[in-house]
């Protein structure tokens, strides 16, 4: 005997022809049925196919498949270099895979997240989810407002039932039952000779909340994608930048973001401090990063101080500015062959390893005369000689040294594609015959042929900042919490229905039948609730005006064994804990079998 | 009107109860799983910015202009902000002092390839229009003054350039026609309104036509 078969019996019973045309099912159907599927071979018009297509699209299975495709589709995005993030990597790929690269390029595999096929997947997914959630939400809303269904004709066939006789008139008995049930916050519906009550609407409220919040999550994500943006900026100590497109290293705007939409704040990096563990096996590991900054929220606003650290972003005007990296920017002064200072300032070098923060970088002097000059090399925060090889032993600048290779010729900056500021394109350059001698702060390197001089004047530190603006973040969080809350409600709360019928008995008195029903798969606890309710109801009916006669228990019509041969005193002991008076608490299983003692075990 | 093979009469034959007891619970669970996956998936897609561990992913490290020209009709030209800054050589400069003249503002940097490409054209145009009272001013961005001055010597740029180390001037144009990349060239008319914006490398002929048009439009 399973829970599935049990309600079916009741349904059939309820659908019996003599039953009044009750639109409601006795069972706890929340109106959520699978869309009927078309039968193969049947004729469909254009509209029919459209409807069929829409049903397929909005089915949960399709949504899952699309979700899977979305995940699979993003795989090449992480395996292949992407145009927006690493254009140099894409060029390299084209150079090394001459045959394959154009094919991949045609498939937009170098710009996966902007590819039409990728957009098709996520738009379909969005449509699928909205198409699935919206109708459900409407259905849920209607269900939540539904009154309880009519009482079934045979209340005693319900999974839980009790019957007894009382001296009260049927109307009075029903009246008192209504009072009891509404006192326990049941929603009531009454009819001739019956009272129908339902409780646990919070379940549907929870379900509704879940669905609406799910839509909220989708909309929030959409908001972020349309109006949000992400940007990166490298900032050297002692310098400032403003949140404007020309000042950003990278800018990934949402679809509806224009340059004028950026929040006009400015940030100055006053000082950056990285502390490292100096003893033990963790020597060289970072202990803390702090960036002392000052910022203005708008050009007119007063400057404020702030200390940026990892996971402690600056929040300004709804934008969050994260500290995501740091490094060194040695400062140089370059004098060209004509004696002019043609370069003077910090040059950010990019760390290539973390234990000693050895960093790579390039200095480009495109306006030197008589020839353009370029230098490429490394910065070593704590330079040590290991078998004739220079290495950095510690990430803090204890002995900061640079070692550079010098070039002259054409830097390739006067025309052609934009190039990285962190590396030299040596195609048009020739290497100058200068031994790459490591320079300490203050030391100079004279170039041959009167081309000029480079001086290593010192170093500063830089930080890299991730600037993110996501207007959908807070709505997404709230929606996410609401999703969970709704889910919990709909899992923890049960819909319970109680029906009471009172009819005049053959031998005088009134026969009261009460039945209870809940979702079979979440029934734990309802048995006790119903038993308590039934006992209370019976007590009220016995205590009511008019002396209680001996209880006359009537058996359910088609299960004569249920309590017919029970004690003639009108007490049928139906449940385990022998109810001392005329009450029969029978469970669903009891009805078809010849035992009135069964309970709902096994559910 | 067509009828689907699965019209309501068919539905009625199917015992409703069958749909309720088990499949519904299963569907709820499927739904939960799907929704959780969607949320996770979306988070994975949108979380790229902060997860990026390289300090500078983009090799070129600046936002290049996307080569577009915007021309504003005389009636709908946004007013240029008050710009006041020091030039690379240390003298004060104010945009309002050039009221009555067409002013060409060019955002540039000595490190920027398209800026170097357009520099000869700008220098030549400044010469060409000097007799007409058109003033050229550069705004040097993310540059060190030594490099900027070397650039100006190299390309024989005779007009002044403003030093804008913290992007204040770009920010001043916030809400009007902000520079949306480097280089960006703004043409400001005689009454101090922005008449045109060229994002990306300006061509000699294109910019010449623009300046001539703005110049003639008012006088």
Per-range mean pLDDT, top range of A268-282, A542-556, A576-590, B41-55: A268-282
Q: A326 in helix, strand or coil? A: strand
Mean predicted confidence (pLDDT) in A44-65 = 87
Assigned fold of A148-200+495-590: TATA-Binding Protein (3.30.310)
Contacts with A521 from chain B: Cβ below 8 Å? 21-22, 25
Residues 12-31 of chain B with CB under 8 A from chain A are 15-25, 27-28, 30-31
List of chain B residues whose C-beta atoms are within 8 Å of the C-beta of residue A259: 178-180
Reported confidence tier of residue A471, pLDDT bands at 50, 70, 90: very high
The C-alpha of B144 sits at a distance from chain A's nearest C-alpha, in angstroms, of: 6
pLDDT in tens, A73-83: 888 888 888 77
Lowest average pLDDT, out of A15-19, A410-414, B109-113, B121-125, goes to: A15-19
Our CA-based measurement puts residue B177 at a distance from the nearest CA of chain A, in whole angstroms, of 7
CATH architecture, range B68-218: 3-Layer(aba) Sandwich (3.40)
State the Cα–Cα distance between residues A307 and A328, nearest whole angstrom.
19
Which stretches does DSSP call E strand in A259-388? 266-276, 286-296, 304-309, 314-316, 319-336, 341-346, 350-351, 359-365, 372-380, 383-386
Q: CA nearest A510: which of A11, A262, A183, A163?
A: A163
DSSP states along A225-239: HHH-EEEEEEEETT-
List chain B residues with CB under 8 Å of A67. Answer: 34, 37-38, 41
Q: Number of residue pairs across A and B with CB atoms under 8 Å?
A: 280
Give the pLDDT band of residue A582 (cuts 50, 70, 90): very low
Whole-prediction pTM value?
0.68
Query: pLDDT tens-digit profile of A439-467?
Result: 999 999 999 999 999 999 999 999 999 99
Chain A residues whose CB is inside 8 A of the B142 CB are 247
Average pLDDT over residues A387-403: 92
For residue A601, the model assigns a pLDDT of: 36
What are the residue boundaries of the structural domains of chain A, listed by start?
Answer: 26-37+44-145, 148-200+495-590, 229-469
pLDDT for the residue numbered A39: 53
Query: Nearest chain A Cα to B172, which residue?
Result: A299
Average pLDDT, chain A: 80
Q: Do you find a cis peptide bond into B87, omega within 30 degrees of 0?
A: no
Query: Is a pLDDT exceeding 50 seen at residue A20?
Result: no
CA distance B128 to chain A (A): 23
**Residue numbers of B between 60 and 99 with CB closer than 8 Å to A:** 60-64
Interchain proximity B60–A341, CB inside 8 Å: no
Tell me A100's DSSP state. Answer: H
Q: Is the pLDDT of residue A13 over 60?
A: no
pLDDT tens digits in sequence order for chain B, 219 residues long: 333 333 332 222 223 232 333 333 344 444 444 444 444 333 333 332 222 222 233 334 455 545 678 889 888 899 999 999 999 999 999 999 999 999 999 999 999 999 999 999 999 999 999 999 999 999 999 999 999 999 999 999 999 999 988 888 988 888 788 888 889 999 999 999 999 999 888 999 999 999 999 998 754
Q: Which residues contact A540 (CB under 8 A, 6 or more apart)?
A: A176, A180
Q: What does the domain layout of chain B look like in residue ranges?
A: 8-44, 68-218
Query: Which chain B residues are Cβ-neighbours of A344 within 8 angstroms?
Result: 144-147
Q: Do A325 and B54 touch (CB under 8 A)?
A: yes
Does the structure show a pLDDT above 90 at A44?
A: no
Are A418 and B62 within 8 A, CB to CB? yes
Instruction: State residue B63's pLDDT score.
Output: 57
Distance CA A229, CA A246 (A): 15
* Spatial distance between the Cα atoms of A452 and A85, rounded to a whole number of angstroms: 37
The backbone torsions φ and ψ at residue B131, rounded to the nearest 5 degrees and listed phi first, read -70, -25
């Amino acid at each position: 005997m399973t829970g599935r078969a049990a309600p079916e019996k009741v349904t059939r019973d309820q659908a019996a022809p003599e039953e009044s045309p009750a639109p409601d099912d006795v069972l706890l159907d929340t109106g959520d049925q699978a869309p009927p599927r078309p039968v193969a071979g049947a004729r469909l018009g254009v509209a029919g196919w459209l409807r069929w297509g829409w049903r397929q699209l909005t089915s949960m299975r399709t949504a899952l498949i699309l979700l899977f495709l979305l995940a699979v589709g993003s795989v090449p995005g992480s395996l292949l270099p992407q145009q927006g993030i690493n254009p140099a990597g894409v060029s390299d790929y084209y150079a090394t895979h001459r045959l394959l690269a154009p094919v991949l390029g045609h498939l937009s595999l170098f710009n996966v997240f902007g590819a039409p096929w990728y957009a098709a997947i996520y738009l379909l997914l969005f449509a699928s989810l909205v198409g699935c959630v919206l109708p459900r939400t409407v259905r849920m809303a209607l269900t939540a407002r539904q009154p309880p269904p009519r009482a079934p004709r045979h209340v005693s066939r319900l999974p839980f039932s009790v019957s007894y006789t009382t001296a009260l008139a049927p109307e009075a008995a029903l009246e008192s039952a209504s009072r009891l049930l509404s006192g326990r916050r049941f929603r009531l519906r009454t009819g001739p000779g019956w009272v129908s009550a339902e409780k646990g609407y919070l379940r549907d409220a929870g379900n509704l909340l879940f669905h609406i919040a799910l839509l909220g999550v989708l909309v929030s994500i959409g908001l972020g994608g349309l109006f949000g943006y992400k940007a990166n900026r490298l900032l050297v100590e002692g310098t400032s930048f403003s949140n404007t497109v020309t000042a950003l290293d990278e800018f990934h705007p949402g679809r509806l973001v224009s340059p004028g939409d950026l929040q006009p704040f400015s940030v100055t990096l006053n000082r950056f401090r990285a502390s490292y563990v100096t003893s033990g096996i963790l020597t060289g590991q970072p202990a803390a990063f702090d960036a002392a900054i000052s910022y203005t929220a708008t050009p007119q606003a007063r400057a404020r101080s702030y200390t940026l650290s990892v996971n402690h972003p600056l929040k300004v005007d709804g934008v969050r500015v994260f500290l995501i990296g740091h490094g060194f920017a040695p400062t140089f002064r370059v004098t060209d062959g004509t004696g002019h200072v043609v370069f003077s300032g910090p040059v950010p070098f990019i760390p290539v390893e973390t234990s000693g923060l050895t960093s790579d970088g390039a200095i480009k002097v495109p306006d030197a005369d008589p020839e353009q000059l370029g230098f490429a090399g490394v910065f070593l925060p704590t330079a040590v000689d290991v078998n004739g090889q220079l290495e950095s032993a510690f990430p803090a600048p204890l002995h900061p040294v640079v070692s550079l290779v010098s070039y002259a010729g054409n830097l390739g900056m006067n025309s052609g594609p934009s190039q990285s500021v962190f590396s030299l394109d040596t195609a048009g350059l020739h290497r100058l015959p200068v031994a790459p001698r490591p320079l300490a702060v203050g030391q100079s390197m004279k170039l041959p042929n009167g081309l000029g001089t480079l001086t290593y004047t010192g170093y500063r530190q830089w930080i890299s900042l991730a600037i993110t603006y996501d207007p959908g973040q807070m709505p997404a969080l709230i929606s996410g919490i609401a999703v969970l809350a709704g889910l919990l409600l709909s899992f923890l709360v049960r819909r319970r229905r109680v029906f009471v019928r009172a009819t005049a008995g053959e031998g005088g008195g009134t026969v009261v039948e009460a039945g209870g029903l809940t979702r079979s798969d979440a029934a734990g606890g309802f048995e006790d609730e119903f038993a308590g309710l039934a006992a209370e109801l019976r007590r009220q009916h016995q205590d009511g005006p008019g002396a209680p006669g001996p209880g006359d228990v009537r058996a359910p019509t088609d299960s004569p064994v249920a309590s017919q041969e029970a004690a003639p005193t009108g007490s049928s002991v139906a449940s385990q804990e022998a109810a001392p008076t005329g009450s029969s608490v029978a469970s669903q299983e009891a009805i078809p079998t010849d035992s009135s003692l069964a309970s709902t075990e096994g559910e | 009107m067509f009828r689907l093979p699965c019209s309501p009469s068919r539905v009625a034959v199917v015992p409703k109860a069958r749909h309720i007891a088990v499949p519904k619970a299963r569907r709820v669970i499927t739904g939960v799983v799907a929704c959780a996956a969607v949320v996770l998936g979306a988070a994975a897609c949108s979380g790229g910015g902060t997860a990026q561990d390289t300090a500078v992913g983009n090799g070129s490290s600046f936002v290049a202009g996307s080569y577009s020209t915007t021309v504003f009709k005389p009636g709908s030209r946004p007013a240029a902000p008050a710009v006041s800054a020091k030039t690379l050589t240390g003298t004060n400069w104010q945009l309002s002092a050039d009221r009555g003249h067409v002013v060409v503002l060019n955002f540039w940097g000595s490190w920027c390839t398209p800026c170097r490409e357009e520099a000869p054209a700008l220098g030549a145009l400044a010469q060409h229009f000097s007799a007409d009272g058109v003033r050229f001013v550069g705004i040097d961005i993310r540059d060190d003054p030594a490099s900027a001055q070397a650039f100006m010597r190299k390309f024989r740029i005779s007009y002044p350039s403003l030093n804008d180390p913290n992007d204040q001037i770009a920010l001043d144009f916030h809400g009007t026609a902000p520079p949306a990349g480097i280089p960006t060239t703004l043409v400001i008319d005689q009454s101090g309104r922005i008449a045109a914006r060229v994002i990306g490398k300006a061509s000699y002929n294109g910019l010449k036509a623009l300046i001539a048009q703005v110049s003639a439009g008012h006088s």
